[in-house]
Structure 1
Amino acid sequence: MSEAPKDSLEAALKQLSCPFTWHLFEEEPTLKNLEEKISNGLGFSCPQTGASGHNLLAYLKHLQGCDEEALSCLRRAEELTRQEHPGQADARNLVTWGSYAWLYYRLGRRKESRAYLDKVAQTCGRLASPYRIDCPEMDCEEGWARLKCGGPHAERAKACFERALERDPSRLELQVGRAVATCVQEEARAWKNQSPDLLRQALALDPGNDYLKVVLALKLQKMKDEAEGEKLVEEALAGAPSVGVLRLAAKFYRKRGSMDKALEVFKEVMERQPPTSSLYHQIGCCYRTLANQLLQQPKVAGTREKVLELRNLALEYLEKAVGESGCYPNMYSDLASMYAALGQQEKAEAIFQKVLRMGHLTDGEKQQLHQRYGSFQEIFRGQEDVAIHHYLEGVKIKEKSMEYEKIMSKLHELAAHQGDRKPSSLQGWRLLGFLAKQKEEEQLAMEHYEKALGILLQHFPSGIGSLFPVPPPPEAERVPGDQEANAADPDGGVSGPPSRGSPEGTDIALLREG
């Protein structure tokens, strides 16, 4: 066949349905870390979705300029499609062939690009558009690809599975996909009214699916039903669990506070796959939390030595995490906090400064960094004003997260503390005014600012200060969720020590998984 003009070839390529036309990563600030994020995502480990995962990785490899690796991923996707979906191989391979066509086109190999376009056209048959077919298989492939990209794509993924179910309501894979997409969507949006019903229904149809068992277990854990969740995890681990199932099981144990069990499972993962920054980080976090748990127990002979041993193990793995490609900013701040806990303040400061200079941080990462660095300055450096500055920067980021609650709680505490230390308590009332304004309590904010203004004006020679009664120092105010936000939590941030300025009792807690 003679080569088509470049414009007509590109017009045909735009009609294809594949990762090159789904615009999956347009909102990502950077491609760094995406591969590990996708590989560790909730949707990546589901059985019978290996081909869609390799299609997605091929697109990502191309965006990173690794085109030979991208071609290797597409070859692996074709192979897995034949294994996973022998009866639907042609329809499912349309996505892979579309990616081949786009990749060869981008490489300037128009002949190969046209050859794969022809394969797509032959499979689609004589339809209104020769390069796209409307069928459940295509919706399913797009649904899994979007689901593997994480929470922001879960709603679109769910819509793909629901559209496919309208035409093929009995297909188990579609029901599993919809259930997992719903779970990821609820987690991403932190919906209060979450339900495990779809996951239960999918598991009832596929009772041997270990992946669904651990996903449902994590959902039940979130809903405070750990007993049933643990039974499901134990069932999943009793068989021949995949690496993906092991990682989710370890996550369950870590969230439960069973660090020894989590470490056992994480180390089994490490024996079965090359170590990654995420895996090193999670193991370091487990050792960190074991040390924190030991500090909460009655002191016995050897406690100090054991805590130091666990902290050094945590440091070892956290250093390995930042030494691998694909590490996240929170891994650096975890390492900095660990150096601080071990008394190496200058190293901690240097690492925090490195992260503060990083570009392409998301709002959530910036907020988390300001919360952690503020805690470091307050607890280990004694720089309360610097800490307040960073807490305020974190609050200004309108990301309602665990870190946001921690910062709000800490600022209320510091407002009262400043009132105790400073007779004028000006800063304390200004802080309370700012916090009330952040919570959109305009009347309360105005009252606090008026008190601050009264203190500011009381010594003016004009006597205007007499119009404003001098208020007493502000008292500590609790904000909703304080107790939970400040508890020792393996997924939290840096919380204060039992006595101000005592690093030994400080809980340098660890971040949740990406």
Structure 2
Amino acid sequence: MSMENDKVLRTKLDQLECHFTWALKKDDMDLNRLDEQFKLDVEKKENPTQIYNALAYVKFLQGFQEEALSNLMTSLKLYKECHEEEFNKSLIVTYGNLAWINYHMKNYTECESYLQKVLKINENMSSESSSVPEVLGEKGWTFRRFSFKYYEKSKECFKKALDLEPEVGKWNAGYAIALYRTEYGEFTIENSPVIKQLRRAIETNPDDDVLKVLLALRLVMYKSYEEAERLVEAALERSPDHPHVLRYAGQFFNNKGSMDRAIALLKNALELSPNTSFIHHQLALCYKMKKIQLLQKGNHHVRGPEVQQIRDQIIYHLEMATTHATGFIKAMSDLALHYGEQHDVSRAEEMFQMTFETAKEKNDNLHVVHFHYAEFQFHCKRDEVLAIKHYMECRKMNPGSYEGKRSENNLKRIAEKRINKNTQDGEAYGILGFIHKEKGEKTQAIECYEKALSYGENDEYLTNLCALRLSI
């Protein structure tokens, strides 16, 4: 094909609505995790044409073009088994993907053929492909499944589809889940957009038990425990073998503190989806909570072997989570911390350095790594100076996160303990100054930095003090 013809063809391909034109960046995804997840989804036979479309694109990114083409042909075959119409708008994405994969394989005749099929569908529509609810729905689903970085885009797509077809259940469900992933503002149970949309989604999808468990998880945030538990128990009764229902129910009972129930449900989910990193991670979190509960009972010497057994379970499930999802930052940094708890300090340090590098490369959860590294320094290496440094980094990066709040509390506890021992500890007042400064409490921050400087010279405290005085 001549360069001029290739340029014309690429212009037409770029105008299509499909995975190849949705700016899905390879660096934003864990392709191995997606590959495993979509294969499991295929077995469930839910939205198979959609799943095969997504799996095809993953295979393309992995460099397996023949497999990508095969998956797309399967998607098309499954659609035709259920529908007679060859030029339905539901096929816009599949035909677009087929045009692109054939272009990359230099099958230009087939590429042009699928382009023509998309054009024929467009001729019968009054709107652009980008405004078709079926396209918006698949786009929203794709953004949600491929990376957390695309959650906002997913929400926008489902909202547009819902504006066009407000009574359609799958758009209501998609928008509800997208909101669940993105909305964490200061709301009441009455005005929470997530709760309102989840209730609406359940109305339009009364048999969707996953939505009920998600609603329960959000209701707990507003202390509506009775309704939440009713929803979870009803979902488990109706869908006892649904892996998503089981894993979210496990998360619910974990949050509630019913660790044995949570672990049992998650193990059931793991039998259905053995290679799911999310479930392994949730099991690790359950065992962590069980370990904390055990340690809080005291008598550590007697309970030592039991605590060690639980710690072994935590490490096993974190290792499995990181094996099945490379680049799982939260699991990686938590695993490094637990290596430290096992007194395997060199292995912990090595794991932390790898996790820091991965988090920086992916721009993903770096504050979590700083928090776990601070915990490692404080509890395993007894290096309070380095712990303080990394708690501060975590607090600066993400103050509203669980790790950010824990870091602030730990810094406050360290500072207050030091002041109780020595009322002239300048560094302790410097820590309190940092906390007040980060919270925007300028007057209190100035007072703390002035105290810190009165007990010893420190250029950082002086710089912060001058900046604060100038800003008032």
Instruction: Classify the TM-score, shorter chain.
Output: 0.7 to 0.9
- Name the counterpart of 2:252: 252
- Name the counterpart of 1:393: 393
CA shift for structure 1 position 198: 2.2
Say whether residues 1:107 and 2:108 are aligned partners.
no
- Name the counterpart of 2:165: 168
Aligned residues: 451
Alignment of 1:51-66 (within 5 A): 51-66=49-64
2-structure distance, mates of 1:279, 1:226: 24
Quick one: percent identity of the two aligned structures? 31
The 8 Å contact of residues 287 and 310 in structure 1, kept in 2 or not, is answered as yes
2-structure distance, mates of 1:84, 1:263: 40
- Name the counterpart of 1:184: 181
- Which amino acid is the alignment partner of residue 272 of structure 1? L
2-structure distance, mates of 1:301, 1:369: 30
Match of 2:133 among 127, 132, 136: 136
- Name the counterpart of 1:383: 383
Residues 289 and 33 (structure 1 numbering): CA distance in 2 closer, same or farther, change over 3 Å? farther
1-structure distance, mates of 2:227, 2:35: 28
- Name the counterpart of 2:198: 199
Match of 1:117 among 98, 115, 123: 115
- Name the counterpart of 2:143: 146
- Name the counterpart of 2:469: none
1-structure distance, mates of 2:431, 2:165: 58
The 8 Å contact of residues 30 and 360 in structure 1, kept in 2 or not, is answered as no
The 8 Å contact of residues 426 and 456 in structure 2, kept in 1 or not, is answered as yes
CA shift for structure 1 position 15: 1.5
The 8 Å contact of residues 50 and 77 in structure 1, kept in 2 or not, is answered as yes
Any gaps of 5 or more consecutive residues in structure 1? 458-514
CA shift for structure 1 position 175: 2.3
2-structure distance, mates of 1:30, 1:206: 31
- Which amino acid is the alignment partner of residue 235 of structure 2? A
- Which amino acid is the alignment partner of residue 106 of structure 2? G
Residues 369 and 48 (structure 1 numbering): CA distance in 2 closer, same or farther, change over 3 Å? same
1-structure distance, mates of 2:83, 2:9: 30
- Which amino acid is the alignment partner of residue 63 of structure 1? L
2-structure distance, mates of 1:79, 1:211: 28
* TM-score (norm. length: structure 1): 0.76
Higher helix share: 2
- Name the counterpart of 1:417: 417
2-structure distance, mates of 1:3, 1:378: 62
Residues 333 and 199 (structure 1 numbering): CA distance in 2 closer, same or farther, change over 3 Å? same
Residues 9 and 76 (structure 1 numbering): CA distance in 2 closer, same or farther, change over 3 Å? same
Residues 225 and 46 (structure 1 numbering): CA distance in 2 closer, same or farther, change over 3 Å? farther
Residues 357 and 136 (structure 1 numbering): CA distance in 2 closer, same or farther, change over 3 Å? closer
- Name the counterpart of 2:89: 91
- Name the counterpart of 2:328: 328
Any gaps of 5 or more consecutive residues in structure 2? 458-472
1-structure distance, mates of 2:53, 2:296: 48
Which SS does the other structure have where 2:223 is aligned? coil
* TM-score (norm. length: structure 2): 0.82
- Name the counterpart of 2:434: 434
Residues 320 and 228 (structure 1 numbering): CA distance in 2 closer, same or farther, change over 3 Å? same
Alignment of 1:14-29 (within 5 A): 14-25=14-25
2-structure distance, mates of 1:203, 1:85: 27
2-structure distance, mates of 1:261, 1:80: 39
2-structure distance, mates of 1:420, 1:86: 79
The 8 Å contact of residues 129 and 135 in structure 2, kept in 1 or not, is answered as no
CA shift for structure 1 position 17: 0.9
Which SS does the other structure have where 1:456 is aligned? coil
- Name the counterpart of 1:305: 305
CA deviations 1:258-278 (Å, max 9, x no partner) are 222222222222222342333
The 8 Å contact of residues 333 and 368 in structure 2, kept in 1 or not, is answered as no
